[in-house]
Structure 1
């Protein structure tokens, strides 16, 4: 399928059934997602970074935070341009409407500052649970309590690692399952 798309065969993919398009982004050591809502045209930036804590930051942290915010806006603008160009090239009816949308950063109740090492796990949780609803309706199940959130992230890290390792698309899936089976046999003997 990918090769067909690269060769310009746009007949392989129909956007008629696509409600949301997720684009995972890595910027300045932090992961976030830009989502294009195709059903109810909107562009949202979903990031677990709490931008309201700037007053508590050191000068260096504030500079990094400002650079990140600027980079986030640049990436969103470029991604919007490329996506709209693609949508127009395949004759997507709402391409003009999507083009008129301004990217909006969602303010999350469970947003944190720091936790860079966990931003990839939070990104996956956001992609798993976001259905294009407003924040008043969307609940990804994450706590606003720091300790509880850390435990939830640990559980999600295990869940996602397991799904990735045991996925049929993983070319090492059989070896991993075999090694896991041996480990279980050893545990039963003990």
Structure 2
């Protein structure tokens, strides 16, 4: 599985009308090159079964995942559909599409560029919101905990075989969220990628 964090910082690419298809594809290409550690042989994506994009929109994290073997597009969002700010709307105009369809548009054009054998199948596929029992109602703060857990535990499996580790009962679920929140916070603070790590640890 390959995770690309390009779209986290791509709000300008979604909204700025000065960018055309080729510029968006080039931005994606540059981001993928970093993700595969500049190993150009991996840029065709033929080595990967699943590619996921981490999205930040409306202050909310979610995933758009492409199953390259089964040509499925899955939106993984912890919020119940009636509360989620994430919608699935397609349009002939790029700027009238919602984000999952924009991601599909750019990714499909990239796959065509690298001559991926199944780009036409993905082009025809429609993003589907994944339904699962631990979706949240009234929780607008733990989306980052859920998305980190989802990235760790989802491998393109069908939902009834997906073991996310989240209990369904409210009290155990709350305890699990508290534990994961603390665990992930420590990892983020102490990560070598955190440029403020030394200062934070020095002040602790």
> TM-score if structure 1 supplies the norm length?
0.74
Match of 1:43 among 57, 70, 73: 73
Q: Which has the larger radius of gyration?
A: 1
What is the CA deviation profile of residues 9-43 of structure 1, one whole-angstrom value per residue up to 9, with x for unaligned ones? 89364312222211122333332111111232210
Is 1:22 the counterpart of 2:52 in the alignment?
A: yes
> In structure 2, what is the Cα distance between the partners aligned to 1:30 and 1:120?
8
- Residue in 1 that maps onto 2:125: 101
Mapped to 1, the partners of 2:183 and 2:189 lie a distance apart of 10
**Does 2:177 match 1:147?**
no
Cα offsets for 1:99-158 (capped at 9, x unmatched): 111111111111111211011111111111000000111110101112221211111111
* Counterparts of 2:57 and 2:194, CA distance in 1: 26
Large movers: runs of 4+ above 6 Å: 7-10
User: What is the CA–CA distance in structure 1 between the aligned matches of 2:89 and 2:116, rounded to whole Å?
Assistant: 28
Partner of 2:87: 69
Check whether the contact 1:35–1:44 (CA below 8 A) recurs between aligned residues: yes
| Structure richer in helix, relative to its length | 1
Are residue 115 (structure 1) and residue 139 (structure 2) matched? yes
Q: For the residues of structure 2 that align with 1:22 and 1:36, how far apart are their CA atoms?
A: 6
For structure 1, the residue ranges without an aligned partner over 5 or more in a row are: 55-64, 184-190
3-state secondary structure, aligned to 1:50? coil
Structural RMSD (CA):
3.0
Secondary structure, in 3 states, of the residue corresponding to 1:136? helix
Cα displacement (A) at 1:173: 4.1
Aligned residue number for residue 11 of structure 1? 40
CA distance in 2, matches of 1:17, 1:155: 35
Q: Which ranges of structure 2 fall in alignment gaps of 5 or more residues?
A: 1-5, 7-26, 91-96
Residues 66 and 143 from structure 1, CA distance in 2 versus in 1: closer, same or farther, beyond 3 angstroms? closer
Contact 2:63 2:77 in 1 (8 A): yes
Higher relative contact order (CA 8 A, sep 6+): 1
Q: Distance in 2 between matches of 1:160 and 1:101?
A: 34
